[in-house]
Structure 1
């Protein structure tokens, strides 16, 4: 009788481990996008800098382009922003929300940058299907350089003055 009880107990433990492990694996997302946690700005000799702080271990790719006006991803509505010229910066894969849909970026979606010489304002213009878009309103149309740094992940946007 003792042998049967040990076998039954062993089978029960195995069932609990298999079911418990399966529940844990199902609860974790298959992929997690780098998520925006902060937008920082700073003034440097010869350029202004905007930094997008991201979570995760996979760095995104980043592109930038001059646009006549900034538009919101998804809706296509115009995003009104202070500035004479506008640059759109897109990071992929990246998001401003977690897998549960909760916003990861606690700051404002649009803000002025009074302490910078060329960048007048920054706006979060898109967070849609793995694409994170940010718009910059500028005083002057100069050079724009984007790069990605890791450990921790961040997108760096440098704008000439």
Structure 2
């Protein structure tokens, strides 16, 4: 039986290189093209259409689970203070896990924090929380909102559509 020491050495080198490459910690890998581990909420915007008003929450990274629920009044998460939005009906929108700030604590959210809106259904929007992996928004309405939600991709965004009477007819 004839041995090939050079081939054996090359094969051993390849295996060793592969084994070392597999043990590089994830934190040492380039991060520039990867989505953030926690979804970052970067903007909120809205628009009026003939039969619905649309609220869009833009996210960098994968859209996290989102809950939308009616509440009697809106409160800021950290202080518990009442949010000064005029309305009779309110929806609370929670994205979690998510953040509106980066790892250094700087805000990445560029949208409004508190704004009155003059659309047929949507009357106000507030960023009410960015705390412990939960980003919360509050919306205000004069009439009980009938709504649907969507998650859209490329770019990542959460959509809340609120129906109203046809304003284009």
Q: What TM-score do the two structures reach when normalised by structure 1? A: 0.76
1:136 aligned partner? 139
Task: Quote the residue 1:15 is aligned against.
Answer: none
Match of 2:154 in 1: 151
> Which among 38, 61, 64 is matched to residue 60 of structure 1?
64
- 1:106 shift after superposition: 2.2
> Which position in structure 1 is the counterpart of 2:15?
none
Question: 2: CA distance between counterparts of 1:74 and 1:27?
Answer: 35
Partners of 1:42 and 1:25 in 2: how far apart? Answer: 42
Checking the alignment, whether the CA contact within 8 Å between 2:98 and 2:135 is kept in structure 1 is yes
Please give the per-residue CA displacement for 1:14-47, whole angstroms capped at 9, x wherever unaligned: xxxxxxx88x63997xx63211221110112211
Q: How does 1:4-153 map to 2 (within 5 A)?
A: 25=28, 32-56=37-61, 58-114=62-118, 116-153=119-156
Aligned residues: 137
Q: Does the 8 Å contact 2:89/2:145 carry over to 1?
A: no
Which secondary structure state, in structure 1, belongs to the residue aligned with residue 98 of structure 2?
coil
Contact 1:62 1:147 in 2 (8 A): no
- TM-score under structure 2 length normalisation: 0.73
Superposed CA offset, 1:37-89 (max 9, x none): 21110112211100011111x22111111111001113222112121211111
Q: Is the 8 A contact 1:81 1:137 kept in 2?
A: yes
Superposed CA offset, 1:88-129 (max 9, x none): 111112211111111011233101112x11111100011111
State the alpha-carbon separation in 1 of the partners of residues 72 and 58 from structure 2: 27
Structure with larger Rg: 2
In structure 2, runs of 5+ residues without a counterpart are 1-23, 165-169
